[in-house]
Structure 1
Amino acid sequence: MIALDDIDRGLLRAMALDAEQSAGALGRKFGLSQPATWRRIRRLEEAGILAGRKLELDREALGFGVTVFLGVKLATKGRVSLEDFERAVTAIPEVQTVEHVLGLYDYRLRIVARDLPDFERILRRRIMTLPGAGAVEANVLLSEERLPGPL
């Protein structure tokens, strides 16, 4: 783990707000030259602190108006491997995240759908037919608040 100074932390905050800023623009904010800024960004990437920049799409604008968190309990532990379930569930395009969790359910999925009938179709035809899929519990996302910054 590398030591972060105030400029490193400032760069991370600025990039979290707008990852498309040029190294020159970031450098001007922190009193650095463009090459010095690039060296810092590269060092943060090499250390694994800055793991990349991602494109964020507006799901609603693309026609996906419903987000559902689905808890999935495996019905046949031991008979179906976790890897088989994970491989099958990650192949479903509407499944945005797959989290193996401790608690009442074995997995927590984030699923996007066009509407509730579309979610029902995904649930019946794709999720419930997965190897080992057992009990499920669905929670429909009503609103989402995000904290500023990457963490």
Structure 2
Amino acid sequence: MSGLDGTDLAILRLLAADATRSAAEIGRAVGLGQPAAWRRIRSLTESGVLAGRRVVLDNAALGFGVTVFLGIRLAAKGRTSLEDFERAVTAIPEVQLVQHVLGQFDYRLRITARDISDFERILRRRIMTLPGIGQVEANVLLSEERRPGPLGTLAQG
């Protein structure tokens, strides 16, 4: 985290709110010219602080109205390798996120489905047939809020 000044943090906050902003817009917002803002953004990217920019899709608008979080514990019998499980689960298009976690479960998955019937089909035909599946627990997402992330805890510049 060292080496970031108030201007860098301001740029990161602006990009976190809207990654489509141009270097000229960001520069105006933080009191820099476009070339200086672009150099700062490039430096943040090259140092790994800015790891990429993403488009956020509205799943419901695309016809995927159900999001389910699955906790998965791999079976002790058979000793499926983590790599085999990860390779198989990431090949399922409805699985949006795979997290290897510590705790009650070995993995946490975020799955999008058109509706509950579609989720049941995904669970039965794709998830439960994965290598090494043991215990599975499903939690259906009711609502979601966007959190600012770690930038909200850093000193304002």
- Shorter-chain TM range is over 0.9
CA distance 1:13–1:83, change in 2 (3 Å): same
The residue aligned with 1:114 is: 114
Map of 1:2-151 to 2, 5 A cutoff? 2-76=2-76, 79-148=79-148, 151=151
Give the residue type in structure 1 aligned to 2:75.
A
Deviation of 1:105 after TM superposition, in Å, equals: 1.1
CA distance in 1, matches of 2:106, 2:77: 10
Runs of 4+ in structure 1 over 2 Å off? 76-79, 148-151
TM-score for the superposition, normalised by structure 2:
0.91
Identity within the alignment, % = 72
Q: Is the 8 A contact 2:72 2:134 kept in 1?
A: yes
**Structure 1 unaligned blocks of 5 or more:** none
CA drift at 1:150: 6.3
1:97-131 deviations in whole A, cap 9, x for unaligned? 11111111111100000000000000000000000
Which amino acid in structure 2 is aligned with residue 9 of structure 1? L
State how far apart, in whole Å, the 2-side matches of 1:132 and 1:14 are: 43
Taking only aligned residues, the RMSD between alpha carbons, in angstroms, comes to: 1.4
Amino acid at match of 1:64: F
Q: Secondary structure at the match of 1:108?
A: strand
Specify the SS of the correspondent of 2:38: helix
Do the aligned residues in 2 keep the contact of 1:74 with 1:106 (CA within 8 Å)?
A: yes
* Whole-angstrom CA distance in 1 between matches of 2:102 and 2:18: 34
Q: TM-score when scaled to structure 1? A: 0.95
Deviation at 1:43, TM superposition (A): 0.4
Cα–Cα, structure 1 residues 119 and 39, in superposed 2: closer, same or farther, change >3 Å?
Answer: same
Pairwise CA distance, 1:9:
0.3
Amino acid at match of 1:55: V
How many correspondences in the alignment? 151
Question: Which residue identity does 2:28 align to in structure 1?
Answer: R
CA contact (8 A) 2:78 2:132 kept: no
Contact 2:97 2:111 in 1 (8 A): yes
